[in-house]
Chains A and B, each alone.
Chain A
Amino acid sequence: MSATSPSEQPAHTPPAENLSIQNLSVSLRGRDVFRDVSFDIQPGEFVGLLGPNGAGKTTLMRAALGLIAAKGNSSLAALTAADRAHAVAWMPQAREIAWPIAVERLVALGRLPHLPQGARLTPQDQAKVDQAIDQMGLQPMRHRAASRLSGGEQARVLIARALAQDTPLLMADEPAAGLDPAHQIATMEIFARLAQEGRSAFVSLHDLGLAARHCTRLILMGDHGVLADGPPDTVLTPDLMAQAFGISVWHQQTAQGPVFQPLEVL
């Protein structure tokens, strides 16, 4: 596994944090989705974004990327499209694969921002593509048409595509949804390893158990803003879970690591 040293990262990447958001507010059709959200994501962090349906997780991520209009500041939204493509890779929730492109070609699209107009993949590019394919266990299907794979397989292809973009920050909207348990865990471990290598991952999740076990930090959204932001232990508390989701939970440190289980609706 080739760890990316900071010197290999593009020079224009902000040196301190991979994402910095200040007082970000979004209102859609006159209603505030959230107000005054601020946080930074440092290299080495694997941040899970939690919150009930409609809390604005997707909106927050898209606003942070500069894909929708927002008040306040986001370091990514300030970049040009080309620079942003070197700073962040984004896997949207809608898993769109419009054409029957072979898996390896689709993953190779992740190298697009690194290639001049009309250029072919260099051996280094190809190595990144192969690595992403290996990481997501796509080797057996690399020549199959991606649009004809199952939903879970497509999700893994799209994650591989984002990995191949090889950016300091990886953002993904519900990457684990629809995956079987083995691939859910494997995916979370890949994000965690990216963080260990000095990059960051910022991922929205519905599976609180996965969040408890793999993330280094959680941001909990609700009530038009951030309810809590910190290490999993400080966010996954019974009080906050009751406030945000209206559920009771069971959360313990075990010999196999933290185990988190939602119990019942309050």
Chain B
Amino acid sequence: MAMLTTCVVVLFGLSLGVGPAEVNWRDSFAALVDDSYGPLTLVMREIRLPRALLAAVIGAGLGLAGAALQGYLRNPLAEPGLIGVSAAAALGAVVALNTGLAAAMLFGLPLAALAGALVAVFLVLLLAGPQGGSLTLILAGIAISAMASALTSLVLNLSPNPFAASEIVFWMMGSLADRSLVHLAIALPFVGGGAVILLRLGRGLDALTLGEDAAQTMGINLSRLRLLLVLGTASIVGGATAVAGAIGFIGLVVPHILRPFVGGQPSRLLWASALGGAVMLQLADLAVRLILPDRDLKLGVVTALVGAPLFLHLIYKTRRGQV
């Protein structure tokens, strides 16, 4: 835990120091607190700070959401991106943008994304059942993702704005490029609120390790747990996707890597995955800036390159009952 926290802090610093405007480190950080650096102060405060903060906040949220979903479904393949929740949130966001809802009210964009995510989580839990069998879970995810992506494309194609049609990549792959403090202000209440909800579910998720009957007789109110899980996950994914697009695989990779370090216990995995998620997204965002600085490489590309092979590995292990 201490190590993860250190990583988050170090990466946050690195993230502030890296950008296309090549400035030395001392000046960069001085400009952050000192107004006298002119445009550099603007760059640091208005461009790099929101980006670094968003990477930490959204990464933490997605890691946490993955750990909570896995704990509830008792399935290591559960992840907001893979089960279609992120795609549905993106659909909500795109609809809000194109109907003017996002412009009409302050939190219209994240609320619409939250609504999309809510529908998807609810559908997945309905389709996959409480036990969350791998096959139904993945099939439900494929169906919901396909539907949401198709509708997102449709909305973007119908938009009279000529640029809209080309941005399906952003909504499906996610990016933190040129996000502002406004975006942080939009996302933070939702990701933070969802995180508060999910972090309090540890006890119930621990009990669920032994199955639903056992959990219920250990004093866990399962319908309340399910409701809170759905709300918390949707809130995080909604807030994150509204400003950064759908970033997949963080909720899959991070809990999987950290599970052995917390002795497999779902409650301890929640906190660890939040920190780990922040680390992973910060790393991914550094990677897109360092590897191809002059292309707008999408975050989802990096996370998928890491996550998809692991996903395949997990499917293989699940088939052999070794998870």
- Given a CB threshold of 8 Å, the question of whether A touches B is answered with yes
Listed in ascending order, the chain A residues whose CB lies under 8 Å from chain B are 62, 65, 67, 81-82, 84-86, 88-92, 94, 96-102, 105-106, 109-110, 112-113, 117-118, 145, 147, 158, 161, 165
- What are 26 inter-chain pairs, A to B, with CB distance below 8 A? A65-B213, A67-B213, A81-B221, A82-B219, A84-B217, A85-B217, A85-B219, A91-B214, A92-B214, A96-B214, A97-B209, A98-B74, A98-B208, A98-B211, A99-B264, A99-B265, A101-B209, A101-B263, A105-B265, A109-B206, A109-B209, A110-B218, A112-B218, A113-B218, A117-B203, A161-B210
- Identify which of residues 203-259 in chain B touch chain A, using a CB-to-CB cut-off of 8 Å: 203, 206-211, 213-214, 216-221, 259
* Contact A81 B216, CB 8 Å, known A101-B264, A106-B209, A109-B209: yes
- Chain B: minimal CB distance from A154 (Å): 11
B319 within 8 A of A: no
Compute how far the CA of A105 lies from the CA of B269 in the bound complex, rounded to whole angstroms: 14
Contact B209 A84, beta carbon cutoff 8 Å: no
List, in ascending order, chain A residues with CB within 8 A of B266's CB: 99
A208 CB, min distance to chain B CBs, angstroms: 25
Asked whether any CB of chain A lies closer than 8 Å to the CB of B200, the reply is yes
CA A85 to CA B260, docked complex, whole Å: 29
The distance in angstroms between the C-alpha atoms of A158 and B209, with both chains bound, is 11
Contacts of A158 in B (CB 8 A): 210, 214
Q: Across the interface, do B203 and A101 meet the contact criterion of CB distance under 8 Å?
A: no
In the assembled complex, the Cα of A132 lies from the Cα of B203 at a distance in Å of: 21
User: In the complex, what distance in Å separates the CA atom of A101 from the CA atom of B209?
Assistant: 9
B217 near A67 with CB under 8 A, answer yes
Partner of A112, one of B74, B203, B259, B260: B203
B200 and chain A: residue at smallest CB distance: A117
Q: How far is B268's CA from A109's CA once the two chains are assembled, in angstroms?
A: 13
CA distance A90 to B217 in the complex (A): 6
CA distance A110 to B245 in the complex (A): 42
> How far is A94 from B214 in the complex, measured between Cα atoms in Å?
10
Contacting B211 at CB < 8 Å: which of A94, A100, A117, A118?
A94
Nearest to B220 among chain A residues (CB) is A81
List the B side residues contacting A147 at CB < 8 Å: 264
Residues of the B chain whose Cβ atoms lie less than 8 Å from the Cβ of A62: 213
Closest approach, in angstroms, between the C-beta of A3 and any C-beta of chain B? Answer: 24
The smallest C-beta distance from A35 to any residue of chain B, in angstroms, reads: 23
Given A94-B211, A112-B203, output 4 extra A-B contacts at Cβ < 8 Å: A81-B220, A99-B259, A113-B218, A158-B214
**Which size class do B's interface residues fall under?**
20 to 34
Alpha-carbon separation in the docked complex, A239 to B260 (Å): 55
Let me know if B220 and A109 touch, CB within 8 A: no
Question: A87 to B49, alpha carbons, bound, how many Å?
Answer: 54
B219 adjacent to A113 (CB under 8 Å):
yes
When C-beta atoms are compared, the residue in chain A nearest to B206 turns out to be A109
Give the docked Cα–Cα distance between A81 and B220 (Å): 6
What residue in chain B is nearest A83 (Cβ atoms)? B219
Contact A165 B218 (CB under 8 A): yes
Q: How near does chain B come to A231, taking the closest CB pair, in angstroms?
A: 28
Contacts of B219 in A (CB 8 A): 81-82, 84-86, 112-113
* Neighbouring A residues of B210 by C-beta, 8 Å: 96-98, 106, 109, 158, 161
* Residues of B with C-beta under 8 A to A112: 203, 206-207, 218-219
Closest B residue, CB atoms, query A111: B218
Closest Cβ of chain B to A175, distance in Å, is: 13
Determine the residue in chain B with the shortest Cβ distance to A100. Answer: B264
**Contact string against A for B residues 189-204, beta-carbon threshold 8 Å, 1 for contact and 0 otherwise:** 0000000000010110
Given contacts A81-B221, A112-B218, contact A90 B207 (CB under 8 A): no
- List A contacts of B207 (CB < 8 A): 109, 112
CA distance in complex: A228, B220 (Å): 34
What residue in chain A is nearest B222 (Cβ atoms)? A81
- What residues of A have a CB within 8 angstroms of the CB of B221 in the complex? 81
CB distance from A130 to the nearest CB of B (A): 18
Given known A101-B263, A117-B203, A145-B264, contact A92–B218 (CB-CB < 8 A): no
- Residues of chain A within 8 A of B209, CB atoms compared: 96-99, 101, 106, 109
